[in-house]
Amino acid sequence: MKKEDLLKIKNNKVFTWTIRMLIIFFGAALYGFGVTFFIKDQNLLTGGLAGISLLINKAIPQVDIGVWTIILNFPLFIAGMIVFGKRYMFLTIVGTVSLSLSMSLFDFVLSKYDVHFFASELVTVVRENGETVQVLQSSKDILMSGIIGGLLTGIGRALVFRAGSNTGGVDIIAKLIRVKHQNFTAGGIFMVFDGILIAIHAILLKNVEIGLYAALTILVSSVLFDKVMFGFDSAKLFYIISDKKEEIAQRLLNEIHAGVTILTASGGYTHSHKDVLMVAIKKHLYPKIKSIVKEEDPEAFFIVSQANEIYGKGFKENDNKKQA
């Protein structure tokens, strides 16, 4: 098949939407698998409305977690439809329903066929004062289960997001909050919500240890989500202001073969002209460039920031180049 034919297929709307839907379904299935077999089965917790569904399911086990997820999301669907429009909410509903169906299916398999990957469980212990508490049995298994569950949910959720959808719940809540309060970050909203959820989970079970394991699970999930969404090959971005810019630029070009861009700037107070060196480098070269700057000009002013993705020579190829 010729390259032109391949490009026609890739640019075909039906093909694009089919691939997008398949990625959403696969990501949701991965998320549901992690929640059911590694998180719920170990009395742990995931974030968002799926986490609330797990808590409610403990009190009302007759209704599975997938159904609770849909019930909790329903009013958010209506609010999201009004504020964000049909297209956004269509993809949101596809992602949320896919997740709910996968959790219901895996929950059925778990209860029907008694499938378990690890054997940790909560055991009720009566203390000397007559108080009953929940104690974890086999911490090794629950630790592994929390890590694996976090990996699966983080990757699954990121795949759903990369396909242009989301899993509803707190994703919609965060977007609604940021309409009125743009200074709030989505990450901060997620952190507050999940923190409250973990605290409630630990209090209900009277077990701090399980709350810590739940926090670890959510942390692993969040890290994997960021890595899959924004890439594992993050780089460093330097902005350098120095009176010895020529010497620094020359050493960067000669010693680490870094591309140097000179930006023209002026001081906000003095209005004096300044040249700023901008340098994008791979993470492992960070100590070397920092050393060069300090050696040439100990008084240099420089800013180092994280660049999640960089396209161009020496980094990622851009999308147009890949398609060609």
Place of tokens 């709910």: 100
The alpha carbon dihedral of 81, 83, 85, 91 has a sign of negative
200-221 residue pLDDT tens: 988 988 888 888 989 999 989 8
Give the count of alpha carbons within 13 A of 65, CB side only: 30
Query: 62 with 176: CB under 8 angstroms?
Result: no
In this structure, the answer to whether residues 124 and 224 fall within a common structural domain is: yes
Q: How many helices (H) and strands (E) does the chain have?
A: 12, 6
Q: What is the pLDDT of residue 186?
A: 66
Same domain, 123 and 150: yes
Residue 311 and residue 167 share a domain: no
For residue 183, the enclosing domain spans: 3-230
One domain for residues 240 and 170: no
Instruction: Report which of 193, 201, 155 is spatially closest to residue 174, judged by C-alpha positions.
Output: 193
Is residue 199 domain-shared with residue 263, that is, in the same domain?
Answer: no
Number of domains, the chain? 2
Shared domain check, 264 and 206: no
Among 230, 246, 270, the domain boundary falls at: 230
For 7-61, write each residue's pLDDT tens digit: 566 567 788 889 989 999 999 999 999 999 889 878 888 888 889 999 898 888 8
CATH assignment of the domain containing 268 = 3.30.70.120
Looking at the structure, tell me whether residues 298 and 171 fall in a common domain. Answer: no
pLDDT at 99 over 90: yes
Same domain, 72 and 216: yes
Do 28 and 177 belong to one domain?
yes
